[in-house]
Structure 1
Amino acid sequence: MEKTYSVVFYSTTLVEPVKKMKDFLRSKIKWYNSCNSEAHITICEFTIEDSQLDAIKQKLSKISDTFTPFQVFLNHFDSFPNSGAFFIGVNEDSEKNLIPIMKKIHDTLKFLKLKKSDNPHMSIGRRLTPENLKIASELFTTIDLNFVCNEIVLREFDTINKQFFVIDTFPFGSNPEPEFVQGSLF
């Protein structure tokens, strides 16, 4: 059976503060896309057969072992007006650390049909109307959150609740892959 999965950066320390923001926005504009989604930064999403899951987990475990933990700072609000997304953005240093990991995971899973995210951000709301985007940007003006990025998380989509839930975590092992060095025969 086919199921949908996502690979994300996730920290339990951010779940509650971001939920409070989402609930506050919901109290002003009613239900909206992502209002019930737990705080995360999406890396990619894909649909696979159950039989492929173990192989995907092995690949994620192997690649995660090569990453080293670092601090991520979320320090501003922004939006993608074309898609109606309102989100918390990361600072420049965090972006420089997150993007290479996202690209390596995309490359590792390139044999799948991926929905990729190349721009690290934490969504507050998606598919908001221009009016609701304006309300969100007026409600939320300053932010200062951070977390230790020390793992990636695999989540499965629950077709009944219409939400992703965590099924596995892959800790960073701080074991960079050895660089290939061309040897000489003589």
Structure 2
Amino acid sequence: MEKTYSVVFYSKPVVDSVKKMKDLLKSKIEWYNSCNSEAHITICEFKIEESQLDSIRQKLIKICDTFTPSQVYLDHFGSYENAGAFFIAPNEESKNNLKPIMKKIHETLKSLQLKKSDDPHMSIGRRLTPENLKIAFELFTTIALQFECNEIVLREFDPKVKQFFVIDAIPFGSNPEPEFVQGSLF
């Protein structure tokens, strides 16, 4: 059976902090897209047959072994006005650490039809009206969250509750791939 999966950066302490923000925004503007989803930074989303999942998991384990953990600092808010998205963004250094990981995961899963995210961000709300975006920017002016990015999380979409839930966490191994050096026979 075909199912929808996503690969994300995820931190339980950050989830709890962002939930309070989402609940506050919901109290001001009522229900909105993403108000019930747990905070995360999306890397990609895809649909595959459930029988393919172990093969995908093995590819992710192999690439994650090459990644080194780093601190991620989420220090400002932003929006994608065309999508009505309001989000928490990482600082430049954190963004520069996350982007190569995202790119390598995209390359690793390139055989799949991916919905990719190339810009690391943590959504608070999506498909907000311009008025509700304005309310979000008025409610939230400063942010200082951080977490150790030392794994990626694989999630499965539950069509009944219309939410993703965590099915696996794949740790970083801090084993960078050795550079291939052309040897000489003589």
TM-score grouping bracket, smaller chain normalisation:
over 0.9
Q: Could you list the structure 1 runs, at least 4 aligned residues long, displaced by more than 3 angstroms after superposition.
A: none
* Match of residue 179 from structure 1: 179
The one-character-per-residue Cα deviations of 1:45-71 (angstroms, maximum 9, x if unpaired) are 000001110000000111111101100
Distance of 2:108 and 2:182 partners within structure 1: 23
The one-character-per-residue Cα deviations of 1:64-120 (angstroms, maximum 9, x if unpaired) are 111011000000001000000000000000001000000000000000000000000
* Match of residue 80 from structure 2: 80
- Aligned-pair RMSD on alpha carbons? 0.4
* Match of residue 127 from structure 1: 127
Matching of residue 55 in structure 1 with residue 78 in structure 2: no
Number of positions where the alignment pairs a residue of Structure 1 with one of Structure 2: 186
* TM-score normalised by L of structure 1: 0.99
Q: Show structure 1 runs of 5+ residues with no match.
A: none
* Match of residue 96 from structure 1: 96
% identical equivalent positions: 78
Distance of 2:50 and 2:107 partners within structure 1: 21
* Match of residue 39 from structure 1: 39
Per-residue deviation, 1:142 = 0.3
Aligned AA (1:140): F
Q: Show structure 2 runs of 5+ residues with no match.
A: none
Distance of 2:78 and 2:158 partners within structure 1: 29
* Match of residue 150 from structure 1: 150
Distance of 1:31 and 1:141 partners within structure 2: 21
Distance of 1:173 and 1:4 partners within structure 2: 26
Distance of 2:179 and 2:94 partners within structure 1: 24
SS in 1 for 2:105: helix
SS in 1 for 2:17: helix
